[in-house]
Structure 1
Amino acid sequence: MTIKTEGIHPGEFLLSEANGTRSREVVVITAGSGLLRAGTLISQLTAANALTPTAKAGNTGNGTIGSVVVTSAAASGPHVLTIVEAAANGGVFEVYDPSGQFVGEGHVGQAFIGGGLTFTLGDGSTDFVVGDGFTLAVKASLGEWTAYDDDGTDDGRRTADGILYASVDASVVDVEATAVLRDAEVIERLLTGLDVNGAADLAGLGIVIRP
């Protein structure tokens, strides 16, 4: 006989909350957070946004990426840049986000602006050829949310700032979700990631934990 375990339903951990929508807010769970179930303690990230380029193995051209600016409008995760047209001291490239969506077209030696990213792919001493490319590891998590982890990186995730209302899968791309951020009573046994420090953080938000 196959045994199936029923998961936590949306909002099942709630005993009470404030009137209207005071207790809840829509947040963005950052890509790479994985599958988070309802009742998971979550944290708002405070780490600066960043982009780390890695040249594709076997590239002919040796140009580099610089003058980088990343805003939280960008999707967190690996973007792909590929040269689609070659030219002496130049060329054309395309950028795709982690979900495979087209972000935009750019030119070697000129500033690329799109999808929350700004950067310049400079021409090197050897020109790029069609198929050359880069992986752009983007962290655009400033102000976004992930699972609370008191022992994790000191980027905001060590403070519990709320509770995820319904399960989401943010393994690959950013996902909008509803969270309980203030003035509520919740059931302890239906929470994920709760510890002493997390409980203290929630208490400061007016979130009362009941047995």
Structure 2
Amino acid sequence: MTTVTEGRHAGEFLLSEANFHRSRENATIAFSQTLLAGTVLGRIAVVAGVVATAAADAGNTAGAGALTLANPAVSSKVKDGVYNIVCTEPATNGGTFEVTDPTGKSIGKATVGVAFNKEIKFTIADANDFVAGDRFTVTVEADAEDFQYVAYNPAGADGSEVAVALAIYGVVTPADATAPAVIIARDAEVNGHQIEWPAGITAAAKADAIQALEARGIIIRN
């Protein structure tokens, strides 16, 4: 007798969602993805479509150095919004700047004369010495179409390591093409027993992902 195993149904994991499809979002699934319904998703920026602009604060020390963006100016981990780069440790012919992302989270320290190469990429040149509080901003303009979704990967370093959404339907993309999809992006309750996690995920990584989803209003019920 042949045994047939029934697979996951589209949206089967959903317990509740917001009215008028507010929980849902149109999305683009990146190349080389095999997603089941309920797969946890990360998001990566398509660098070529992102615009970044740097500016020095009007109150900076007269004649202080400049910030020059790299080419490309961002990585696939970049977020939409304004990054702040603030001098925290002045030094003669140098200095250290704290870099915070649009959510206010620190993403590292930039040293004058040394390339900073994280979510945004730049080098600060020395001229007149900076003082504490001198700052630059980098404004990132990344629209929804500048992002693609991939399976959540806690070991990733490209943006896939942050859980942001759930796949409603199963999707398979080839190595040379993307595909449209509808995802759960916010404000929903889901059945934790019907969520697709990466194979071998640790308890700590799963806890981090659940917390990241909760921050977007996606609550996992077990």
- Alignment deviations for residues 78-97 of structure 1 (CA, whole Å, 9 cap, x no partner): xxxxxxxxxxxxxxxxxxxx
Instruction: State yes or no: 1:167 paired with 2:166.
Output: no
Paired AA for residue 196 in structure 2 = T
SS in structure 1 at match of 2:45: coil
How big is the alpha-carbon RMSD for the aligned residues of Structure 1 and Structure 2? 2.3
Match of 2:2 in 1: 2
Aligned sequence identity (%): 35
**Amino acid aligned to 2:214:** A
Give structure 1 regions of 4+ aligned residues with deviation exceeding 2 angstroms: 46-50
Deviation at 1:196, TM superposition (A): 1.3
Structure 2 counterpart of 1:158, one-letter code: E
For 2:163 and 2:193, the matched residues in 1 are separated by 17
Equivalent residues of 1:29, 1:145 under 8 A apart: yes
Matched, 1:206 2:217: yes
Provide the C-alpha distance between the structure 2 equivalents of 1:158 and 1:46, rounded to a whole number of angstroms.
13
Distance 1:171 1:3 in 2: 30
Q: Which residue of 1 aligns with 2:30?
A: 30
> Which residue type is aligned with residue 36 of structure 1?
L
Distance 1:209 1:158 in 2: 18
The C-alpha deviation readout for 1:123-172, integer Å capped at 9, x for no partner, is: xxxxxxxxxxxxxxxxxx951110001112x1110001100001011133
State the aligned residue count.
Answer: 121
Instruction: Looking at secondary structure, tell me which structure has more helix per residue.
Output: 2
2:11 alignment partner, SS class: coil
Aligned residues of 1:47 and 1:156 also touching (Cα < 8 A)? no
Q: Give the SS at the match of 1:3.
A: coil
- Please give the TM-score of this superposition, normalised by the length of structure 1: 0.53
Please give the residue correspondences for 1:1-211 in structure 2 after superposition, counting only pairs within 5 Å.
1-33=1-33, 35-46=34-45, 48-49=47-48, 143-152=147-156, 154-172=157-175, 173-193=177-197, 195-211=206-222
C-alpha deviation, 1:49, in angstroms: 4.5
> Which amino acid in the other structure matches residue 206 of structure 1?
G
Q: Per the alignment, in what secondary structure is the counterpart of residue 146 of structure 1?
A: strand
Q: Distance in 2 between matches of 1:174 and 1:162?
A: 17
Structure 2 runs not aligned, ≥5 long: 50-71, 73-144, 199-205
Unaligned runs of 5+ in 1: 51-68, 70-140
Partners in 1 of 2:2 and 2:44 — Cα distance?
A: 40
Residue 193 of structure 1 and its aligned partner are, at CA, apart by 1.4
